[in-house]
Structure 1
Amino acid sequence: MGTLPETKIDYSVHPRVNSTDPIPPRPRPSEPAHVIRSDAEAIEIAERLAERFKLGAALRDREGLLPIAELDEYSQSGLWSINVPKAYGGPEVSYATLAKVISIIAAADPAIAQITQNHLAIVATVDLDGTEEQKQLFFGWALAGLRYGNAFSELKSKNVATFETKVRFEGDDVIVSGEKFYTTGALLSHFVPIVGVDETGQGHLVFAERDAPGLTVTNNWSSFGQRTTASGSVKIDEVRLPRVRALTVTSFDHPTVGGPVSQIIQSAIDAGIARGTIEDTIAFIKTYSRPWIDSGKETAGEDLFTIAAVGDLKIRLHAAEALLEIAGRAIDAARANTTLETVSEATIKTGESKVLTTEIAILAANKLFELAGTRSTLAEHNLDRHWRNARVHTLHDPVRWKFFHVGNYYLNGVHPPRHAWN
């Protein structure tokens, strides 16, 4: 943590988000990605990568630099295939471990962590809904180091679960047309899985190459937070692909862990944002902040109220992280024994974790400036990125509804709804 380096940036090498910089599809890796063999190895690799990703996080945010080199290293590390089942050559780590990995990366750079979210959720969907042929194909791509972006949400639809993108089948082909927004990871991916519906309303996930004819990815993400996720838009104009690329999604028609898996990754990102923010708060207080005049102390770190506030932040963070692990274990249990009861338990525990991680992420970002003082707002430090990232990312799935579903479950025995946002 400290002031941003005055670095001369070559934008031809480091393209920017929401710009006209040419960003061609990413080449496929020249060698297969590493395959992780244990939960402990996954965490060790995440910690090692996080140390490097943290170094340029503030600069990338300030300049809007897309993390291209970082993503290549990240996906080649094996962390993008950690939930591929063992039966298909993957690590199949615990979802508690997966959440820990994402929170470690998010503490260093939450934008990089968010780009992973849809890829891992797609891998889980393949496990739940794919045919044997599709599992061999899509898991194989993930293990090889190929990245999945997404083309899920639509900007003009009635709600997040309403899709106007159309899928139709002609012989051995599938054809897709529509428009998407919030397409995190698509710009820098190798494949863009597209959500669309057929004439009966059945949903499908169709895997298109990033450079497929008719597929246009636009670098137009302009949010004030999570800036370098490149979550822009995708236009799909009669994209024709082999029929095997169309995965029929039925995992929300009956109890599965599809929703909790998607949600625990979001919760882990918020936990990471909170941890990274608190670490920078402590570092700033120790390095730059002055003690308040009424404290009678020589340093800001000796201020009694500051000490108590940091203690409160740490306690809340640890509670959120503990519940995140509990949620991961509940997902593991529901995968091993899938029933309405176990899936509901995993969904509720994940919802509880989402409440706590959301609250601590926003609280920590607010407290940073209160405790660190006015000089922490100077542009040279770019600490406002923590608040911007927390505020934007926690909007994904409103916690006001988590409170409702949790309360309705415990009070009235009502099972929570099944969809990707719960």
Structure 2
Amino acid sequence: MQIFNNNTKKLALILVGPLGCYIAYQVLFIGRYLSVEKYPLLTSAYMNGATVIDSVCALTVAALGFILSRRLGLLDDFSPSLERLSTLSLALITTGILFLLALSMYRVFGTLSPRYVVDNYHTYSFMVTNGGAWIVLAMYSALLLQLMNMYFSGVTLKNGAFLLLSLLIVSFSGGRGILILFALTFIVLLMFQRVSLVKFLIASMLAVASMGISYVIITNMRAPAAPLAPIVIAPVAPSEAMARVDELAGKKANQAGKPVAPKDAVAIDPTNSFEDLNYNAAFISEDVLSAIQGNKVEPRAYALEDAMTLFIPRQLMPSKPISTAETRALYPHVAKRGTNITFPLKANVLMHLGGWAFYADWVVVLLCQTLMILGISRRTKAPSILGFAMLFCGIGFTLIARGGIFNARLLVIVFCVLAAYVGYRALLRIETTLHANRRERLAGPASPT
């Protein structure tokens, strides 16, 4: 039984691609936090037409993507164009990833004691890329190499199992968003080759479950041993919202027959809240809108500032900033403690282009969706590194939704893709040479004429 008909596949491609990803991100990380009291500018924008405009943009992107996929005549006519990597090669890649993870942890802790690593994991997540980013990038390149093997030679039970195992290992390096990107790429590659519905569902559920469980576990392990000291904004006159909260709390206590002592209203800075930093992107969008309207920040090429020092080793430039230029501009107190704020796509576009670009994020969604569809089409018709890069960049919208399109770190991913391709072709050549030598030995010396 084939998984879906072509039209259903095209619709599924749109839903699991940039459009579906962005809708899910907006709902889970921004929409559910909207509140007039907490985020007046952002909430007012969505209450006064932004929701309707966003919905129209989403439907337009969906329609254009469906039309493009029909024109290209996708989808499951894929046939392998290169030999598959051997079991030995896949095992060596996975073992190498495990070694790199151990090296990364030893560099930070000076020990590989499992109990010590678990108890102090929050320290590791903070220090993992400080002077050791190359180790994490090498692990990402190894994952990309495995995905390239699937792109050119097809997804199988064997290479799929090795990839999921590798993803679980790399998840302990602290990365979460990018690993979801790798898992989505795996699912899309499997979807667009001839595979039964049962096998597809099993593989997809395993990929989703493993990434979901690792995301939750790693996020909890990253939690600091003690709560972050909150920044309290006081003493200020309590807002009307806080006054209502006090009134309701008083009524509830009086109903229980207990007096209530008055308390000063305080506001907690979300940049010091572990929960907000991991799941709430609404406060960032609100702060960007407020700063732009109040002329507290100037829209400019922050990503270019980051790119100018991105590839300079910290040993050669000790003063190299740890935080991004966006963080330094809007959250200087966060930059001072050596951490970083990740700006979601809409906030990132506003920081670079200004308030007029409030809906320009949908142009990015359309661009990424187009790249993904073209990448799938090229896999079927003319597989190449360009097609893989287009597919990966399209599905890479999971990172763009969370970190923005104007992000110098996307350059790092490009270099990882190129490094992975060089490694992949080199590994194929080595295997081909070894197989040829083995056949010659088995054939024996040529008989004399």
TM-score (norm 2): 0.24
Structure with the greater relative contact order (CA < 8 A, sep ≥ 6): 1 or 2?
2
TM-score (norm 1): 0.25
Q: Counting strand residues as a fraction of each chain, which structure ranks higher?
A: 1
Q: Counting helix residues as a fraction of each chain, which structure ranks higher?
A: 2
